[in-house]
Amino acid sequence: MRPFPKALNRNSLFVKLLISFLIIIVLLLSFNSFTFYYFKNGIHEEIINSNRLILNKTADNYEKHLALIGRQLTNLYFNERINLLKAGRSEPLIPELVNQASEELKSLVADELLYLDDIMLFFKADSAVLDKDGISTANDMFAKYYVSSDYPLHFWQNQFGQDYYRKVLPASEFHTFFHEANRSPRVQLIPVVVRNRIDDRMYGIALLNAAKLFEAFHFSADSHFALLDGEGRPLFDSAGDSRPASLFPSFTGTEGYVQQDRQYYFYKKMPDTGNVYVHSVPNETVAAKIHRISLVLGAILFVSVVASLAISVVLSAKFNNPFQRIIDAIDRPVSDFSLPSSINEFKWIGDKIGSMMRTSHDVHADLSKKNSLLKQYGYLNKIKSIETNPNEIRELIDTEEPVYLILFQIGFTRRFHDSFDRTDQSRALVYIREFIHVHVSEHFPGSITLNIEKEQLASIVFGQKHFPAVLDMLAAIKRVFDRDMEYCFMTIAVNPELKAFSELDAAYEQTLGIIRRRRLNEETQILTEGEAGQANLFQSHVKEKEIWENLQYGNEANLLQMVKRTLVRMDKKNETAYQFREFASEVIGGAIKTLIDGGQDIAQLLEEHSPYERIRYCNTLGQYDLLLERFLTEAARLIRQKQEAKDPIADFVTGYIDNHYGEDISLEAVADKLNLSSGYLSIYFKEKKGLPFSDYLNEIRIARAKEMLMEKEFRIQDVAARVGYQNVNSFIRMFKRITGMPPGQYRRLNLRAEEEC
């Protein structure tokens, strides 16, 4: 094989290939040279923008954190214990009250994401300060524990009577000082003061760790950061000792940068607080970055030119030689695509090229047949927001037309499920899909109908269609399904706004929300707007603890009455089918959890069909009522069956608790009556009853307390004593732990519920 042709003339393939490569190299060299100088100038702007982004991120983090600290301090003004401490006192403080309030402050300081060194509450009445370690005099606090030359005691006393809500004070070094031999290391803290303009008896102080805040919120290692107040006074400076305000340039506007004293000063003023965030970078740093990048780009350009020249010569020779051999072999025209030659390799190439042409024709025909399927794949990917190559999607479904997205949720009645099997249901879904596709396509040519889920279809209608025409088409579909409403029905949801094709996935989510507004019945419904609220149904309709307690103790009648009453109340409020389904799922899920926690065998409940699957077939109030009644009756029967199994030891313990719950009962006392060790009785009782002795005792006491709370003549203190709690605070804590709310709130909510019923 010869590396070059015999005669190098300008019309030879080698020369033309080489000239073409050289022209491309010149063009690339020109482009790269232009790019080099363009980027060299643009790099400066990129560095500027990068530092702006760093400062914006830092400023946003600081502002959000200062606002969070402000809210935390404000919340303390509404704390009941702290309000008791704030009032003027003629009697000594209650230690328990002080400890509880101090614990709340300690829990805030313990949150590492708040970057707090301490939180203080300064009480004006007796010049006392409460912090995470307890209460002390203001003199001790600011002369021993938090000592700063910038913030002596009289500074903090002068804050009473000031007219502001929240103020961030300049950072200062604080240390603990008892005497010269015992002085803690200095810590730089940023004080934040929050006052109540209406009530001046107390204000809050949050001491933020300046170093931790800076480390968490600032993301640049080669710059200095400073926080100034609205008047330009430094509040924090990462350079160490705060630079005076005179050293900073004047900042105009809300954000930007200023060059001064061989520094770039990037700044951002916050409109709400007036704080100014400053990020300063030396000129040398910016220049060094530009120089390094310039060297890299220059080296790349030089290497590219040298490599391109070498590759051009090599590739020209490699391209020329095979084509020269083919030209030498082909000395006459051919009627078909072949390479007549004594060389087997060229014959093989000719045969393969001819075969590829025939294969290409077959593939093109096959692709045409599958074009519709590929488009559906593309639309489905777009609707479901499936991550894929955007260019691939654009090739399949490239469109600029706005769209209406219509969802069809297919439902089958109980009569259908009783009359037909799963094969019939699958066949019915195919017929329904074909009917909807034909009907929508007749009214709106070019529309697409897809299977989104097993029982959910989506139609995409393109173009500037009038929405009333869409509604007329859907009304016609509804009339067809109304004829067979005893077997099946649909929920048809459509957003009345035209959406851009790029918003198809968002339109799908919005339309799913519209479907959730379906009301409880077995009729085809057309929905066009809004999304139903999804409040926690248990918290808004029924007391979850009461249901599971009734189930746990086998109170079947009570349990069914509460559930039925909830269903009726939901029906009166015209709540959606989605909310009924969520409520039934919560009831069944809670019941199964209660059975499992009690060691019950739930296989009997799940033998035929999962209760969650049967929820799908509930479309009316009566069907939900019947489903939950049957399920809860069976669940209560299982629990009652286990409880009725005679066990002398467990029965003695439960009977003793039922008869003496108002007395001072202990596991040791009951064990003595049975001549057993308390450890053995504890393990035995938990195994038989599914919960520890103390939990069972507290459940019984709280259950009795809930009955008493429904009687208005009993005070909460009386109820606590009657059910065996001598300390009313212990009773309130236990009641809240078991029911999720204090006894006073429980009484109000249940009395109000009875009045509504």
Listed by start position, the domains of the chain span 63-283, 373-527, 537-644, 648-756
The tokens describing 211, both together, are 């170093």
Cα separation of 527 and 519, whole Å? 10
Residue entry with tokens 């303009």? 197
Q: Are 156 and 138 in contact (CB under 8 A)?
A: yes
Mean pLDDT (whole number) for 646-660: 83
Q: How far is CA 190 from the centre of its chain?
A: 32
Beta-strand (E) ranges in 234-301?
234-237, 255-260, 263-269, 276-282
Q: How far is CA 300 from the centre of its chain?
A: 45
Cα separation of 306 and 313, whole Å? 11
In order of 359, 360, 361, 373, 493, the CA distances from 364 in angstroms are 8, 6, 5, 15, 39
As a whole number of Å, the end-to-end CA separation of the chain is: 101
**Between residues 689 and 670, the one the model is more confident about:** 670
The tokens describing 589, both together, are 């899920």
Q: What was the pLDDT predicted at 258?
A: 86
**Between residues 127 and 381, the one the model is more confident about:** 127
pLDDT digits (tens, 9 = 90+) for 78-96: 888 888 777 655 456 678 8
**pLDDT for 207 beyond 90:** yes
Cross-strand bridge partners of residue 172: 189
**pLDDT for 218 beyond 80:** yes
Q: What is the DSSP letter of 664?
A: -
What DSSP string describes 448-469? Answer: EEEEEETTEEEEEEESS--HHH
Cα separation of 568 and 571, whole Å? 5
Mode of pairing for the β-strands spanning 234-237 and 255-260: unpaired
Look up residue 667 and give its amino acid: L
Q: Which of 580, 582, 565 is nearest to 621 (CA)?
A: 580
**Between residues 46 and 61, the one the model is more confident about:** 61
Q: Are 105 and 130 in contact (CB under 8 A)?
A: yes
Phi then psi dihedrals of residue 130, to 5 deg: -105, 130
The tokens describing 431, both together, are 């017929």
In order of 373, 391, 510, 587, the CA distances from 532 in angstroms are 35, 37, 11, 20
Q: What's the whole-number average pLDDT of the chain? A: 79
Cα separation of 617 and 423, whole Å? 17
Q: Which of 233-237, 304-308, 399-403, 530-534 has the lowest mean pLDDT?
A: 530-534
Cα separation of 556 and 549, whole Å? 11
What's domain 373-527's superfamily in CATH? Nucleotide cyclase, GGDEF domain (3.30.70.1230)
Q: What was the pLDDT predicted at 329?
A: 45
Q: Which of 573, 380, 406 is nearest to 474 (CA)?
A: 406
Cross-strand bridge partners of residue 226: 237, 278
Mean pLDDT (whole number) for 635-644: 71
Q: What was the pLDDT predicted at 364?
A: 65
Q: What was the pLDDT predicted at 740?
A: 81
Q: Which of 61-75, 364-378, 604-618, 631-645 has the lowest mean pLDDT?
A: 364-378
Look up residue 179 and give its amino acid: H
Confidence class for position 466, pLDDT limits 50, 70, 90 = confident
Residue entry with tokens 């439902």? 411
CB atoms within 10 A of CB 53: 12
Q: What was the pLDDT predicted at 252?
A: 80
The tokens describing 157, both together, are 């006393």
Confidence class for position 192, pLDDT limits 50, 70, 90 = very high
pLDDT digits (tens, 9 = 90+) for 97-118: 888 888 888 998 999 989 999 9
pLDDT digits (tens, 9 = 90+) for 253-292: 888 888 887 788 889 898 888 899 998 888 776 666 666 7
pTM of the model: 0.43
3-state secondary structure of 123: strand
**pLDDT for 333 beyond 60:** no
Q: Which of 387-391, 481-485, 609-613 has the lowest mean pLDDT?
A: 387-391
Q: What was the pLDDT predicted at 303?
A: 79
What's domain 648-756's superfamily in CATH? Homeodomain-like (1.10.10.60)
pLDDT digits (tens, 9 = 90+) for 320-329: 555 455 555 4
Q: Are 162 and 155 in contact (CB under 8 A)?
A: no
Q: What was the pLDDT predicted at 541?
A: 40
Residues whose CB is less than 8 angstroms from the CB of residue 619 and which lie 6 or more positions away in sequence, other chains included: 411, 413, 414, 489, 520, 521, 522, 577
Q: Which of 104, 86, 121 is nearest to 199 (CA)?
A: 86
What DSSP string describes 124-167? Answer: TTTTEEEETTEEEEHHHIIIIISB-SSS-HHHHHHTTT---SEE
Strand order in the sheet with 448-453: 448-453, 456-462, 403-412, 488-494, 525-527
Q: What was the pLDDT predicted at 325?
A: 52
Q: Are 457 and 439 in contact (CB under 8 A)?
A: no
**pLDDT for 537 beyond 50:** no
Look up residue 159 and give its amino acid: Q
Q: What was the pLDDT predicted at 754?
A: 65
Residue entry with tokens 């559906």? 376
In order of 57, 68, 115, 693, the CA distances from 54 in angstroms are 5, 21, 21, 58
In order of 74, 291, 296, the CA distances from 78 in angstroms are 7, 59, 61
Q: Are 82 and 72 in contact (CB under 8 A)?
A: no
Q: What was the pLDDT predicted at 68?
A: 92
In order of 409, 462, 626, 753, the CA distances from 459 in angstroms are 12, 10, 36, 45
Confidence class for position 2, pLDDT limits 50, 70, 90 = very low
Please count the CA atoms within 13 angstroms of the CA of 565 that sit on its side-chain side: 16
Look up residue 640 and give its amino acid: R
